[in-house]
Amino acid sequence: MEKKQKYDTDKLYDVIVIGGGPAGLTAALYLARAKYRVLVLEKEQFGGQITITHEVVNYPGIGRTSGKKLTETIQRQADAFGAEFLLAAVKSLDLNGDVKTVGTDKGDYYCLGILLATGAHPRTVGFKGEEEHKGRGVAYCATCDGEFFTGKEVFVVGGGFAAAEESVFLTKFAKHVTILIREDDFTCAAAVAEPARKHEKITILTNTVVEEVSGDGGLDSIRYQNTVTGKITEYRAEDGETFGVFVFAGYAPATDLINGVVKLNEQGYIITDSEQRTNIEGVYAAGDVCIKPLRQVVTATGDGALAATELEKYVAAVQRRTGISAKSPVAKGYESVMSELHEEASEEPGELFSSEMKAQLRSVFEKMQQNVILKLYLDERLVSRELENYMQTLASLSDKLTVEVEDSHASSEIAPCVKICLGDKAETGLAFHGVPGGHEFTSFVLGIYNAAGPGQAIDEESRKLIESIRQPTDIKVLVSLSCTMCPDTVVAAQQIAAKNPNVRAEVYDLQHFEGLKKRHNVMSVPCILINDSTVSFGKKNISQILELIGR
């Protein structure tokens, strides 16, 4: 039996799906429902790129939803049939033989078949000044960063689906939006482009490329050229004003892991046949990482369903031939999950937490090894009353949580703020300034769990590096509650602070701290400040934050 003595049977799966976007989640749903043991590995966040889309109106059978809610529902359906999920970065692949090995930063896992559903990430354009002004005028996510450009001019670079749709979304904040399209027209469907064409706050310039952006702190100048006439235009903001540039220039496939192993085309997309098979036996691919004429959620879910059914056939054949078989999945009950979803849709308006959320929170709090005091610092603003109500409601779910108001007239530089302290009133170094709702709710709960123990597992190398920090270190993570990329950075910073008393990790919702935003010229989130000097933008994991601390 090939590799029979070389793997842990508890870590043997029929199929491992690499990538937790719509394609990967759909494949997991189909495979688990067919009684195959499946593990979905995702290095960032389950749901993929669609989670940053605030409104989805073209998914068949669903009138209107958000990308996040849609993919959360698919994941819960897969979970109900017994699919397993793990946040882990894949580091290596051994695709030889019947039993394949997937090496991750959380250990090795084994499987008979693999689905590559790693998706794609936003492309940069390469104009002068793009790299230098990332986070300070140049942005790539309208949902995350749009609010930072309220009342300002905004330029959108691109002419595809994202450029058309997100330009309309940006008009909610921007004074005016100018779309700069390289081609002679939009490259997306006419119906998608039509709202942008008709919008009174949008100007469209075709055959236009950006040459350079510049500014001191924020952007105050952009130069672009008409490629047909050769005319160069330079826009300069009025004295003291700044503007934003949002780049929606398509996506680059996330194929670094399998480059040179699985066949790719010249653009780096995976080559598959009509059944989603790659050139490697037992390895399939689905979603935006593949060559395809249309990259939409509906085509990704279709790819995932097809790949799953083909993998079912492949795995069954390997099982018959080798006698190797993974454990059966443990189904949680599809009907109960659907009932929960229905209950959530029927929740009374004004309820902070759904019935399912309350059950999950109680389960987390029961595991805590120490009691926690949520210490509040409030001012006269309504947001402080909101924070107090939020924390009181949270604390009502467990006798391990109590709320204390430390200062009801705190400075607006601090308040509203909740500090996580242990039962002996010792500060953990973890704090949230604002109200930890939206995308930051889960990260706040994990902060409590990591501070009170036992906390999330962490690899030995990272643990040693964290413990080696001897100097007082202040980490500020500046976020927006609408940002889907912020929570992972917040959790990583909090894990470091929870394991070393020399480190503080404080999170600020920039909506309520305009002075902090202006002081550091922050126009994109997440933004990390180390000791108020080192500034870095973009999502970070534990090792990347430790690298910033060590500079």
**What's the pLDDT band for 340 if we cut at 50, 70, 90?**
low
Region 266-284 average pLDDT? 95
What percent of the chain stands above pLDDT 90?
A: 70
Q: What is the pLDDT of residue 143?
A: 80
Query: CA–CA separation, 145 vs 351, rounded Å?
Result: 28
Angle 401-486-531 from CA coordinates, rounded to 5°: 85
Catalytic, 10? Answer no
Counting beta carbons within 10 angstroms of the beta carbon of residue 468, is it exposed (0 to 12), middle (13 to 18) or buried (19 or more)? exposed
Q: Are 301 and 71 in contact (CB under 8 A)?
A: no
Average pLDDT over residues 396-419: 95
Asked whether 248 and 269 are in contact (CB, 8 A), the reply is no
Give this prediction's pTM: 0.69
Q: Is 399 a catalytic residue?
A: no
What does the buried/exposed string (b/e) look like for 319-340 if buried means 16 or more CB atoms within 10 Å of the residue's CB? beebebbbeebeeeebeebeeb
Return all residues near 294 (Cβ < 8 A) that are at least 6 apart.
Answer: none
Rounded to the nearest 10 degrees, how much is the dihedral formed by the CA atoms of 341, 55, 53, 16? 30
Q: What is the pLDDT of residue 334?
A: 60
Q: E strands of 390-514, at which residues?
A: 401-407, 417-422, 427-433, 473-479, 503-509
Residue 337 has a pLDDT of: 59
The predicted model gives 429-450 an average pLDDT of: 93
| Kind plus residue range of the DSSP H or E element containing 307 | helix 297-322
* pLDDT over 70 percentage in the chain: 95
User: Which is the catalytic residue, given 141, 188, 417, 486?
Assistant: 141
Q: How far is CA 307 from CA 22, 25, 67, 115, in A?
A: 13, 12, 22, 8
The whole-number pLDDT of residue 5 equals 47
Where is mean pLDDT largest: 11-15, 217-221, 358-362? 11-15
Between 341 and 458, the more confident residue is: 458
Q: How many alpha carbons fall within 13 Å on the CB side of residue 55?
A: 8
- List, for residues 80-127, the tens digit of each pLDDT value: 999 999 988 899 999 999 999 999 988 999 999 999 999 988 888 999
* Widest CA span in the chain: 74
Catalytic residue selected from 14, 79, 98, 144: 144
> Could you give the domains of the chain?
9-121+251-335 (3.50.50.60), 138-247 (3.50.50.60), 350-549 (3.40.30.80)
Beta bridge partners of 376: 405, 418
Q: What does pLDDT average to over the chain?
A: 90
Judge whether residue 302 has pLDDT over 90. yes
Which pLDDT value is given to residue 2? Answer: 47
Q: Could you confirm whether 145 is annotated as catalytic?
A: yes
Cβ atoms of 99 and 3 within 8 Å: the answer is yes
pLDDT at 244 over 90: yes
Instruction: Check residues 351 and 346 and name the one with the higher pLDDT.
Output: 351
Residues 6 or more apart from 338 whose CB is under 8 A from it? 80
Question: What residues does 41 pair with on adjacent strands?
Answer: 18, 86
- Catalytic-labelled residue, pool 79, 145, 288, 488: 145
Q: What is the pLDDT of residues 462-488, one digit of tens each?
A: 999 999 999 999 999 999 988 878 988
pLDDT tier at 365, thresholds 50, 70, 90: very high
Q: pLDDT by residue (tens digit) across 131-177?
A: 999 888 999 888 888 988 999 999 999 999 889 999 999 999 999 99
d(CA 9, CA 298): 35
Beta bridge partners of 176: 153
pLDDT higher than threshold 90 for residue 551: no
CA distances from 61 to 24, 56, 64, 75, 305 (A): 20, 11, 9, 18, 17
Is residue 4 predicted with pLDDT exceeding 60? Answer: no
Residue 13 in contact with residue 111, Cβ under 8 Å?
yes
Q: How far is CA 91 from CA 103, 118, 260, 270, 513, in A?
A: 5, 13, 15, 18, 39
Is residue 330 predicted with pLDDT exceeding 70? yes
Average pLDDT over residues 281-308: 92
Looking at residue 345, what is its pLDDT? 54
Cα–chain-centroid distance for residue 319?
36
- Check residues 485 and 79 and name the one with the higher pLDDT: 79
The whole-number pLDDT of residue 1 equals 40
Q: What is the DSSP letter of 76?
A: H
User: In which element (H, E) is residue 202 found?
Assistant: strand 202-205
Q: Is the pLDDT of residue 349 over 50?
A: no
Alpha-carbon distance of 344 to 341, in angstroms, equals 5
Q: Is the pLDDT of residue 7 over 50?
A: yes
At 68, is the secondary structure helix, strand, or coil? Answer: helix
The per-residue pLDDT for 343 is 56
Does 56 have pLDDT greater than 80? no
More confident site: 233 or 134 = 233
